[in-house]
A and B are shown apart, each in its own frame.
Chain A
Amino acid sequence: MWAEYFTVAALISIGLYGVMSKKNLMKIFIALSLMETGVNLMLITVGYVPGGTAPIENGNFAKYVDPLPQALVLTAIVIGVSVTALALTMLIWYHSKTGTLEYRRGMKW
């Protein structure tokens, strides 16, 4: 579990750093996607059973991982794709209005 939780913490922290330090909106969206991946990985890790297999029943007894977080993460991934697509669309719009990808305070667009 340690490696997974280390990866989760690293992904979320790197995403947080990116969101706070970068001015380029494209990089901010990439950082947000990293944070999202970290959260999804955390949910999957909580439901992981050591030595478990995918919860697909084939008649023999096997250790299955918890199916519920996987179903929730499936939803979260699809929502993440939708949000990213919409954000990038707005970024295209922003770029055509201002000619830049950088965020500036007080900018009218």
Chain B
Amino acid sequence: MRKVAAAVIAALFFAMLMSTLYQLPSADYTEGGYNYRNPINGSYADENVPSHYIADTKDETGATNVVTAIVVEYRGFDTLGEVTVLFTAATGVAFLLRKMKVRSGKKKTEANLILREGSKLVLPFILLAGAYIFIHGHLTPGGGFPGGSVIASGFLLMMLAYPKFFMKERAVSVTESLAGITFASIGLLGLVFATSFLQNFLPFGHVGYLVSAGIIPLIYIAVGFKVGSELSSIIDVMKEVQK
């Protein structure tokens, strides 16, 4: 009964979505900028905000990756809040699980030889790939969040291969706090050397080169370290409570 009712409601919702979603505006891009076409009456609306981002990102921020420029520069304050949410979640996970200690007497089985030796071999390259992704965030796809996740996945691999592997709590928390402090103090330096919080105060350099775009790579490196340490601490805490 419950399942039938749920299926009926979900089917009605599906029909409603299908009948409304095609009325959403569809984007088109010309040399001048973005046009959003209204499919109901066929009118066009110029979208100034994305057009501005595409046209002026290079001159205003020095970054070639427009999404990174939006995330770190135009909406940097939003990203600071986002990092705070992730930090709060990591704190909550640690707070709830450290108290539990459901470490049962079940013996942890060793992984096989290939996984153990192979993960040792692969770990440096995973960390290198993660670092590459967040250092080149202003030039290529990627940035602090995916880079940090890649680094955390490297530590997850080590935990799968070695059941006794653990993160040094102190090192993780120091890295995480230092990265957070770096992010906030770069923002405050923007207040000192420029006019507003998180404003770019460093020279842009050669656009398209590694050392360019002012504070964007610095902030993304800090975000990469922060996300990497937070996610690995979440994994580490969750691993400890297995039954």
Interface size of A as a range: 35 or more
Docked CA distance A61–B31 (Å): 8
Range, interface on chain B: 35 or more
Let me know if A82 and B89 touch, CB within 8 A: yes
Q: When the two chains form their complex, are residues B22 and A2 in contact, meaning their CB atoms are under 8 A apart?
A: yes
Q: By the criterion CB–CB under 8 Å, are B96 and A55 in contact?
A: no
Q: Are B93 and A55 neighbours in the complex by a CB distance under 8 Å?
A: no
Which of B5, B10, B102 gathers the greatest number of chain A CB atoms within 10 Å?
A: B10
> With A6-B18, A9-B17, A74-B67 given, is the CB distance from A48 to B27 under 8 Å?
yes
What DSSP secondary structure best describes chain A's contact surface?
helix
A78 at the interface (CB under 8 A from B): yes
9 tightest A-B CB contacts, nearest first: A82-B89, A21-B6, A17-B10, A9-B17, A20-B6, A13-B14, A55-B66, A71-B70, A5-B21
Which residues of B pack against A, CB within 8 Å? 2-3, 5-7, 9-11, 13-14, 17-18, 21-22, 24-29, 31, 34, 47, 49-50, 53-54, 57-58, 64-67, 70-71, 75, 78-79, 82, 85-86, 88-90, 92-93, 96-97, 100, 102, 139-141, 143, 145, 208, 227, 231, 234, 238, 241
